[in-house]
Amino acid sequence: MTNTASRKPNQGEDWPRKVAFGRVSVTVYRRLTPSGNPAFMVANYSGEKRRFDSYSTETDAFEAANKLARQLSQRDVVSASMTREQSIEYANAVQSLQPLGITLSAAVAALVEAVKLTGDLASVAAAVRFYKAKHKAITPKSVAEIVAELLALKESRGASARYLEDLKFRLEKFAAAFQCSIGSVTTAAVQAWLDGQKLSTQSYNNNRRVAHLLCAFAVSRSYAHDNPVAGVDKVKISNGDCEVFTPGEAAKLLASAPEDFLPCLALGLFAGIRSAELERLNWQDIDLKARHIVVGKSAAKTASRRIVPVADNLALWLAPYAARQGNVWPHGRICFHKRQQATAKAAGVPWKRNAMRHSFASYSIALCNDAGRVAGELGNSAAVVHKHYRELVKPADAERWFAVKPATTANIVTMPAAVAA
């Protein structure tokens, strides 16, 4: 027998009235609006809360009540036909949602919509994780503040002085370029900053590496949602020929060098001392009488001590500075590079990346043909020296290189002795 919705008999035209379907009944109410016109409402439920749906005519109200009664009756039948396992599952679902204040019907509706948008249930979970990562609470901090925090952390964990010096130099360059919140730094901005510096490939990658370290640290401390440097690719380092200065270019550079920078230039050109090592080298490490330079562990890039002989022409360039004490270059890395570029500009000689060290290595091996000896002076392996520097220049050019000397001693200003650092 098929059930049909019907109005429950009422005496007269009393309100409210009921529409029944099976064991379910829906109530229809009538009221007068402020203008005196009748309006009708059907009692319904949204989750566990009762609500009233309004209709302008009695016919519309009863049609809605009939439809609702059928729906509720159908749910009642489904509920009565549920197995024990289904009933337990339903009860557990309701119980899980209760602390969240979400009804089962609302949760199902939201999940269905999410699956429609993402394609499947697994994608919904992935989308939620992505959303959570992108919308986690962060503590806004400036780039400069995070630089200071990272440096303090590295120092507290025992990082070497040499590593901290290089890290501080590169991080402060980044902070100077990005005077804003770390969360405002974009991939495009980092890329533009790196490209705008016209760096060598190695310097480009070094600066990118340090910027990546800083931004990854910021993400780990919840100062930013993501790492903008992750989208900036490394530049592949070419294994092309090393660039060297000619003897004529070396002479022009030395003639144009400021008084305080000339010793650094001579040590780089004729002893192969790295720029970073020159910044840490002390005058007490240079023994002009014994004719050697001690590059100690604290100064050497490889953290191993080495002895570098002082060539005849280098001794002449350094002689006026024999009484000096303290650091050979006490003005810091930024000033070092500024002097380097200014000297090259004044000399009319394009500055070539690592060319001081490459020149010394190339002319030395051409002169003595002993890769092991030159490797010891450079702090490299013989294989590296043989691979990169052999046969780049001719022996005759090497003789001219180590013959580059001051024109006269009168051209060299004797620097006053400095107080030991």
Q: Rounded mean pLDDT of the chain?
A: 83
As assigned by CATH, the class of the 247-411 domain is mainly alpha
Q: In this structure, which amino acid lies at residue 237? A: I
Q: Across residues 384-410, what is the average pLDDT?
A: 79
CA 421 to chain centre: 36
CA–CA separation, 106 and 161 (whole Å): 60
pLDDT score, position 421: 32
- CATH 1.10.150 in the chain is located at 143-231
Q: Tell me the C-alpha distance between 59 and 55, whole Å.
A: 9
**SS3 of residue 6 by DSSP:** strand
Q: Which of 212, 205, 206 is nearest to 228 (CA)?
A: 212
The DSSP call for residue 142 is B
One-letter amino acid for residue 128 of the chain:
V
The pLDDT, as a whole number, for residue 11 is: 42
Max Cα-Cα span within the chain: 130
The angle formed by the CA atoms of residues 33, 39 and 44, to the nearest 5 degrees, is 125
What is the architecture of the domain spanning 143-231? Orthogonal Bundle (1.10)
User: What local confidence, expressed as pLDDT, does residue 48 receive?
Assistant: 56
Q: How far apart are CA 13 and CA 7, in angstroms?
A: 12
- What is the pLDDT confidence band of residue 254, given thresholds at 50, 70 and 90? very high
In the chain, what is the straight-line distance between the N-terminal and C-terminal CA atoms, in Å?
Answer: 107
Report d(CA 367, CA 391) in Å as an integer: 10
Reduced to 3 states, what is the DSSP secondary structure of residue 24? strand
Distance CA 309, CA 55 (A): 102
Tell me the pLDDT tens digit for each residue of 342-375.
999 999 998 887 889 889 988 998 888 888 888 8
pTM summary value: 0.51
| Torsion angle, alpha carbons of 272, 277, 281, 287, to 10 | -20
Listed ranges 24-33, 136-145, 396-405; the one with the highest mean pLDDT: 396-405
Give the tens place of pLDDT for each residue, 5-28: 555 444 446 889 988 887 778 899
Q: What is the three-state SS of 342-390?
A: HHHHHHCCCCCCCHHHHHHHHHHHHHHCCHHHHHHHHCCCHHHHHHHHC
Average pLDDT for 377-402: 80
Average pLDDT over residues 186-195: 94
Query: Could you tell me the pLDDT band of residue 36, with boundaries at 50, 70 and 90?
Result: confident
Task: Please compute, for residue 276, the number of CA atoms within 13 A of its CA located in the half-sphere on the CB side.
Answer: 17
Say which residue, 247 or 49, is predicted with more confidence: 247
CATH 1.10.443.10 residue ranges for the chain: 247-411
DSSP label at residue 282:
B
Q: Which of 116-120, 130-134, 141-145 has the highest mean pLDDT?
A: 141-145
- What are the φ and ψ backbone dihedral angles of 354, each rounded to 5 degrees? 55, 25
